[in-house]
Amino acid sequence: MWIVFLLLACFVMVLVIRALWFKVESTNGKSLIASDGDVEAVTQRFSKMIQCPTVSYFEKEKMDWQVFEDFKELLPVLYPKIHAVCDREFHSETGILYLWKGHRSDAVTVLMSHYDVVPANEELWSKPPFSGIVEANTIWGRGTLDTKGTLCGILEAAERLIAQGYIPENDIYFSFSGDEEISGPSAPAIVSYLQKKGIRPALVLDEGGAIVKNILPGVDKPIAVIGTGEKGYMDIELSMKGKGGHSSTPPPNSLVGLLSKAVVRLERRPFKSHLTPPVQELFETLGIHSSFTYRFVFSNLWCFSPLIQWLFGRKGGEMNALIRTTLAVTKAEGSEAFNVVPVKASIGVNLRLLSKDTTDEALKHVKTVINNEDIEVKVIEKREASPISPTNTEAWKKVKTAIQNTWEGTIVTPYLMLAASDSRHFCSISDNVLRFSAMSLSEEERGLIHGNNERIPIKTLMDTIDFYERLMQLL
């Protein structure tokens, strides 16, 4: 028996030693100074961007192409120095690509954003969504957060530096699409163009994580989460056909009822959880900065990983989505009348895939769990999870340095981006694709993205500009 106690004591000692050795790394890096910007002028320029209602729709007939042309024509007016120095080209229907030539072309950078926005129901807004109203040091409007804010940050920073006579060490491209929200062709067209020119960017930076707080108990510092990868995507339609008829003489088992049983089976048998490299590194990084209890757990993921996965699965939401492929029922269709039994019924399912789960494996899982040959399982759209970018690179260090110079005391960590972005297209030409929306956002502010009353504090916008100015000095 004493041998068991001895082994147990040794085991606990190993856990404690690992926790004690889990130390905060030095954040000392290059000190970068950002220029003082004219806040009122910046605010006015950004307000004009918001006043362009560049709403993108999946239905082409709804697109107002003129407002996209208006936006393109507005940029030279707002940023004359950029347009005097940088080359500008248009790709596909809405893509805009700038080249700011540096002293060299050895380590090219691509800074990305998009200027299309999702629709806004004006009746549900406190202020008109495309007014660009400035009130109480806040700019209102659709696109302030997603993502004309980062586009403004990039251009304002470049305009500042050009005014000072600054020339970057390496070429910098600004890649802006006007169809990101509808997965349009602009970003792929720009990637194809760069690929034909033989350009492999040393860094690609697009929208993604932000500066957040209170995402893990025991960590009281602000946290910059940078997406080093994003989940895959899959739309599946489950459908059944029947004879139809009048609702007064229904069949014993309705199509909708049978499909609902299939959905229940899918929800009761979720995909297996596991920790991908970005999520594992997220836990390890935050664990270093947490109280000893959490540091004890996160420094020993080899031991506590099953417990963490179980807890996160029970919690649901973002935490569950970080550790498993998720499945959400998003559509249901039957007949168009209450008194008609449908001839066909269907249910739409959206999956977001971890890199370990391929689209083929996900499809097999769905069919196996449903276990009903009468249900047709049709893949509407699919794409695999993106590659994972490393964090032991100069590209990562530069972004981290710019963050810590802008938001002092911020912890910088990788994470897995749950949503999709244009950056996935650039993975074919770069090994260092990072996803970070350079803003400090509260939980409430993050909830405004694609929601009603989207708005951005002026200070947040000015910090975004400062971040890009500091980053450009490192490129």
The pLDDT tens digits of the residues spanning 266-311 come to: 999 999 988 889 988 888 888 777 666 666 666 666 566 666 666 6
**Six token digits for residue 347:** 């249910």
> Model's pTM, two decimal places?
0.89
The dihedral formed by the CA atoms of 169, 170, 176 and 180, expressed in degrees to the nearest 10: -120
Residues of the chain with pLDDT under 50: 2, 4-22, 28
Per-residue b or e along 288-310, where b marks 16 or more CB atoms closer than 10 Å to that residue's CB: bbbeeebbbbbbbbeebbeebbe
In the structure encoding, which two tokens stand for residue 39, read together?
């806040």
- Taking the C-alpha atoms of residue 63 and residue 286, their distance in angstroms, rounded to an integer, is 44
CB 454 within 8 A of CB 216: no
Provide the pairing of β-strand 203-212 with 433-440: parallel
Query: For the domain bounded by 39-216+388-397+413-474, which CATH number is listed?
Result: 3.40.630.10
Residue 246 has a pLDDT of: 83
Q: Where in the chain is the domain with CATH 3.40.630.10?
A: 39-216+388-397+413-474
CATH 3.30.70.360 residue ranges in the chain? 230-383
Alpha-carbon distances of 276 from 145, 211, 280, rounded to whole Å: 28, 22, 6
The pLDDT of residue 187 is: 97
β-sheet with 326-333: strand ranges across: 326-333, 344-353, 232-241, 376-383
d(CA 296, CA 18): 8
pLDDT (0 to 100) of residue 244: 86
Residues 6 or more apart from 400 whose CB is under 8 A from it? 29, 224, 412
**Could you tell me which CATH number the domain at 230-383 has?**
3.30.70.360
